[in-house]
Amino acid sequence: MISKPMDFIFKYGSLLVIGIVIVFFSLWNEHFFTYNNITDILRSISIVTFVAIGVTFSLTVDGFDLSVGSTVSLTTVVSAALMVWYEQPLIVVIVFPLLIGVVVGLINALLIVRIRIPDLLATLAIMYIVAGVHKTFTKGYSIYNNMQLTDGSTAPGVFREDFLWLGQGKWLGIPIPVILMVIAVAGVHVFFSYTRWGRQMQMTGGNEEAARLSGVRVKRIRTAAYIASGVFAAIGGILFSARVGTGQIDAGGSLLMEAVAAVFVGYSVLGAGRPNVIGTFIGSVLIGVLLNGMTMMNLQYYINDIVKGCVLVLALAVTFVHLNRKKT
């Protein structure tokens, strides 16, 4: 008697909550369910979604990456510095932060896969190290056009228009970050569903020993997952810088919890019971709708953290109650 309602809640609960929240905010404010506001919500969640995709990769191989928020902060200020301080071309401004994401992922993999430090401890340490690196690099200052440097001179460069287009531009009326997000979600879904490496990542996360006995090169697969996590966090940092037009220190400070909440909400989407990128996207949508609606209700900004925490707790509760019930 209890199992069927619980199964229904587990499979469709997050979708129902999104629907209920949208109806509630639409009745509260007539401007909520409009094209402009919906595109604003999607644009606002694009950065979180990229970071959450990175977390999805690490969780898929039964790991966890706490360093994604710091990676966002580092790549945000580095991309800004390459333009404002060093006047570099667009290709350098994009590629160099991506390489930073690769390096962070490789360091995480070295500590976790090779040295066998538990993933939470290893990525927590890297989180602090990366945070210290980006604050040392900027000396604690955000980077912006015509900023005054420590020697009293003015920064020679400015944010490039073609770079800002990535975060602020539109194509056929659709924000560029939204287009990039949809492409990323679709591409990662195809990767996990139809490619050898994607299926091997899922096998590794399901049962590492069984995967190894089946011929999967587990260490290589887990290393690739952490590299992907770093790269997607770096993309989030690039888009953040392009969206706000400054290199803000601690840009990724609030993104870690939102990304984790989105991933765990995604566990319950259509009864997946495991990390999946479609669920991660739906989790991001839920968080984006909640935050946007609360902003329209003129609630204090610090209530957002309470709501995000509650969403995460509920997602974890529903997921693990269901999984534990299946085991028994």
Looking at residue 280, what is its pLDDT? Answer: 93
**How far apart are the C-alpha atoms of 168 and 166, rounded to whole Å?**
6
Locate tokens 């975060």: which residue? 167
Residues 6+ apart with CB under 8 A from 74: 100, 104, 130, 131, 133, 134, 137, 237
Specify whether the CB–CB gap between 159 and 93 falls below 8 A. Answer: no
Q: Which two tokens stand for residue 141?
A: 């200052």
Q: Which helix (H) or strand (E) holds 170?
A: strand 170-171
Give 248's DSSP letter: -
Q: Which fold has domain 12-323?
A: ABC transporter involved in vitamin B12 uptake, BtuC (1.10.3470)
Specify whether the CB–CB gap between 202 and 192 falls below 8 A. Answer: yes
Looking at residue 164, what is its pLDDT? Answer: 96
- pTM beyond 0.75: the answer is yes
- Other beta carbons within 10 angstroms of residue 194's beta carbon come to 9
pLDDT digit string (tens) for the chain, length 328 residues: 446 666 666 677 777 878 888 888 888 888 888 989 999 999 999 999 999 999 999 999 999 999 999 999 999 999 999 999 999 999 999 999 999 999 999 999 999 999 999 999 999 999 999 999 999 999 888 999 989 887 888 899 999 999 999 999 999 889 999 999 999 999 999 999 999 999 999 999 988 999 998 999 999 999 999 999 999 999 999 999 999 999 988 888 888 888 988 998 887 776 667 889 999 999 899 889 988 888 888 877 778 778 777 877 877 776 666 666 655 5
Which residues in the chain belong to E strands, given as ranges? 170-171, 174-175
Looking at residue 246, what is its pLDDT? Answer: 92
